[in-house]
Amino acid sequence: MLRSSWVNAVIAACVLTSVSALGGCGQFSPPYLKPLSAQTQALLTQKGMTAESPVLVRIFKSESELEIWKAKDDGRFYHFKTYPICDWSGTLGPKVNQGDRQTPEGFYLVSAPQMNPKSKYYLSFNLGFPNAYDRSNGRTGADIMVHGDCKSAGCYAMTDGVVEEIYILAREALAGGQQSFQVQAYPFRMTKANMEKHKDDKWYDFWQSLREGYDYFEITHLPPKVDVCNKHYLINAAFVGGATPNPVGACPAFQKLPVQRAPRVPLQEASAKPQGRTADAGFLGKPLGSWFGLSFGPPKAPVYQAFTLGPATPATPVPTPTKQVKVKSKAAAVTAQQ
C-alpha cells in the first residue's frame, strides 16, 4: 500500500511537470516573432522613442559598426544604439561584380518584402543591391544581406543575438507604417581627416559623392533624398518641372533642397561597441568574429529616406564557400584592370 501511494505520487508529480512545461512552450516564439527585450524597451522609453517609430541604419566598414537611428516626434532621427559587425568580406570600396565577395557601399532601401524571417543565417534582410546607381554602372550581384551567423561572403554578418534585435526593431518600424527604411553603407566615418587619409584611393571620387549624404544627415538628422542620374548619386535635388531623372542620362535641371540644421541635444550614447575603438580599424577595430577565428575576410584597412534607388528581389542567401581575400596593391589593381 505504501509502495502504491509512493508510485502514484511520483506519477502525479511527473504529469504536473509535463503540463507546466507544455504550458510554458507558448511563451517562446520563433525568433522573427519575438518581442523586444525589456531592456531594449526601457532604453527606447528613456530616449523618447517608440518601437514603432521609423528606423534608419548606418554601416561603417572600417570601424565594423552598424548604427540604428530612430525618429522622434519632430520627424528627425536620433541615435539609438551602435552594434558591432561580426564580419564583413572584401576591402574598402563598393561591390562591383557577382562573386567578388565584396560588401557594398552606397544608399539602399529596405521594405517589408526584403525582410527574411527564415534565413539560413538565423535572421536577415536584403539590402537591395544592386540599386539604380549600381545598375547604371554595370555592377552585378544579388542577395546581399545583413544577417546572423557571423560568417560573411559578401554580406554584413552579425552575431545571432545582435541581428535579432536589429531585425525586430526594423520589423516593428515597418509594421508601424514606415514604407521602407534607408541603409547608408560607408567605407568609414566620412570625416575630413579620414577623407584626407584616402585621397589617393581609386574610389575617392565615389566616396566624395557618399560624403555629401553623410554630411547632410550629420547636420540635419534627416534622411537625404537620393536620386541617380548621369551614373552618379545626386543628393537633395528638386527637379524643375517635376522631371524624372534617368540613371544613365544627363541630369535634368534641378535646385538643391534647403539644409535645416537639427537642434542641439545632449549626447546620448547606448553603444554596444567595445571601448577604445578609433576611426582607424587596425588591431582593435577588426571584426568581432576574427577574435575567434571566424573571420572570412582580411584584417580591415585603417581608416538618406531615399526614394528612387529601385526595388530589390528578396531571396534567401545561399551559403558560399569563402576564403581569405587578399588586398591588392594600387599598382596591382591598375594592372588587373588593363
Exposure string for 69-103, b = 16+ CB within 10 A, e = fewer: bbbbeeebbbbbbbbbbbbbbbbbbbbeeeebbbb
State phi, psi for 328 to the nearest 5 degrees. Answer: -75, 145
Helix (H) or strand (E) holding 93: none
Cis amide prior to 314 (ω within 30 degrees): no
- Could you tell me if 51 and 68 are in contact, meaning their C-beta atoms sit under 8 angstroms apart? no
Q: What is the CA radius of gyration of the chain?
A: 23
Catalytic residue among 147, 150, 198, 229: 147
Catalytic residue among 155, 198, 221, 229: 155
78 bridge partner residues: 70
145 bridge partner residues: 126
Q: Is 147 a catalytic residue?
A: yes
69 bridge partner residues: 56, 79
- Could you tell me if 162 and 123 are in contact, meaning their C-beta atoms sit under 8 angstroms apart? no
Distance CA 145, CA 108 (A): 11
CB-CB neighbours of 67 under 10 Å: 18
- Could you tell me if 184 and 217 are in contact, meaning their C-beta atoms sit under 8 angstroms apart? yes
Q: Is 155 a catalytic residue?
A: yes
Catalytic sites, residue numbers: 147, 155
